[in-house]
Amino acid sequence: MREAAAAKSLGEIGALLRREGLYSSHLVAWRRQRERGELAGLSAKRGRKPEPVNPLAKRVAELEREKRRLERKLEQAELLLDIQKKASRLLEIPLRSQDDDGSA
């Protein structure tokens, strides 16, 4: 249909019809159907329809990623504190606690 509409001469249309094994009456019928809107259903995309995107779901996913990142960072910080405590015990260096400096 698009090729026939793009054809610049009757000779091109004739060559198209011969190549595809069609008659000119097919083009006439298809043009009438298009004008009535009967061919609009043929242009619909096939397959599964995309699920609607929930903006809250996107935000929840972002927050969950941020939470996992912060949890990993907290684990690293706790591991470093444990290493510092063990090193201070081995080297017999007393650690200052929050109670020692007067702040709570």
Please state the rounded mean pLDDT for residues 51-64.
90
Residue 71 has pLDDT above 80, yes or no: yes
Please report the DSSP string for 12-53 in residue order: HHHHHHHHHT--HHHHHHHHHHHHHTTTGGGGSPPSPPPPPP
Helices (H) and strands (E) in the chain, counts: 4, 0
CA contacts within 13 A on the Cβ side of 80: 6
For residue 104, the model assigns a pLDDT of: 47
Q: Domain residues of the chain, as ranges? A: 2-39, 63-95
Residue 62 has pLDDT above 90, yes or no: yes
Residue 46 has pLDDT above 80, yes or no: no
Gap between the Cα atoms of 43 and 29, Å rounded: 17
Return the higher-pLDDT residue of 19 and 39.
Answer: 19
Gap between the Cα atoms of 8 and 76, Å rounded: 72
Rounded to the nearest integer, the mean pLDDT of the chain is 82
